[in-house]
Amino acid sequence: MVKQFRRLRRVLTCMLVAAFSVGTTSAVSTNNSANGNAPQEKLIWSDEFTATAPHSAPNPANWTYDVGAKSWGNKELEFYCSYNSTTGPCDAKSPNVYVGNDGYLHIIARRPTPGTYTSARIKTQGLQSFQYGRIEARIKMPAGQGFWPAFWTLGSNITSVEWPACGEMDIMESVGQIPSTNVGSIHGPGFTGTRIGAEYKLPGNAKFADAFHTFGILWSPGKIQYYVDSPANVYVTYTPASLPHGAVWPFDTGKVFLILNLAVGGYWPGSPDATSVFPQEMLVDYVRVYAAPDASLAAARD
């Protein structure tokens, strides 16, 4: 019964999003709000990760890939693979990213040979981009030494101004050896050497790897609020006043695209060790974007 209800919920959500996305001027209203007295939000885009086959490609209208072993500025160890890639060390028979008929996006870190690691990093760059509103994803993290899952954004202007001038918002970012902690942070010109971030810790001995949790931001001009599990549960707010002297706030200059990835190694988690178990996977139930209730702050999309 629970599985049937979950499938029905997904189908209904997809139908509603499709109704908004096919060029109509109407929008989907939801009851989700950080304030029960606030106007209703409008769901403007989502990927519910539905598939009829055990291993399907992420929707190519929404997602493309970063690929290769480039260390990605963080001394990471993995080789990022696209869906169905046969470029070694990627193996299409053991994919690093796919949508399953269980209704989840799977991003899997593998160790095909000792000292070799593969994973995936998918992004909406050039396909879907947004400005302001509420952005969230429901995710189950992996755990263990050396694993670094993340859900984050970069400014769509990165191709012209590069990083960090484009700005970066890290909505979900954690390392597997600290499985009860998520860090919500921002990066930009003049504030990259010292992270501006806040930790959200689950109570008791709970771990983010034990269950799905929702990670999101409420984004409006001059303000970004981070939450876990409910937009009413804001745990940190950033404004231009949060920045060090001389830094530039880059988050009101245009749209952003979304990124989901699972890194292996790097300067923050360190390398896998004898305790690290492979494969590990990051599961994503959905990604959703809501317009702000105030039309003047409405989220924009391509």
Taking only the tens place, the pLDDT of each residue in 53-71 is 999 999 999 999 999 999 9
Q: What is the pTM of this model?
A: 0.87
pLDDT digits (tens, 9 = 90+) for 110-121: 999 999 999 999
- The DSSP code sequence of 50-70 is --SSSSB---TTT-EEE-B--
The share of the chain scoring above pLDDT 70, in percent, equals 83
- What pLDDT shows up at residue 20? 31
Q: Where are the alpha helices (DSSP H) in the chain?
A: 2-21, 158-161
Q: Phi, psi at residue 21, to the nearest 5°?
A: -90, -10
- What pLDDT shows up at residue 195? 72
173 catalytic residue (yes or no): yes
Which of 133, 131, 167 lies closest to 152, judged by CA?
167
Q: By the 8 A CB rule, do 66 and 54 touch?
A: no
Mean pLDDT of 128-141: 97
pLDDT digits (tens, 9 = 90+) for 175-201: 999 999 999 999 999 998 667 999 999
pLDDT digits (tens, 9 = 90+) for 220-262: 999 999 999 999 999 999 999 999 999 999 999 999 999 999 9
Lookup: tokens for 189: 């010109």
- β-strand 256-264 against 121-123: which pairing, if any? antiparallel
Name residues whose C-beta falls within 8 Å of residue 132's C-beta, 6 or more positions apart in sequence.
Answer: 219, 220, 221, 291, 292, 297, 298, 299, 300
76, 173, 199, 281: which is the annotated catalytic residue? 173
Residue ranges of domains in the chain: 2-301
Collapsing DSSP to helix, strand or coil, 7 comes out as helix
Average pLDDT, the chain: 87
Q: Where in 174-212 does DSSP place strands (E)?
A: 181-187, 196-201
Q: Residue 153 is which amino acid?
A: T
Distance CA 287, CA 194 (A): 29
pLDDT band for 4, please (50, 70, 90 cuts): very low
41, 76, 168, 281: which is the annotated catalytic residue? 168
CB atoms within 10 A of CB 286: 21
Of 65-79, 89-103, 144-158, 285-299, where does mean pLDDT reach its minimum?
285-299
Look at domain 2-301 and name its CATH class.
Answer: mainly beta
CB atoms within 10 A of CB 267: 11
Question: For the chain, what's the residue count?
Answer: 302
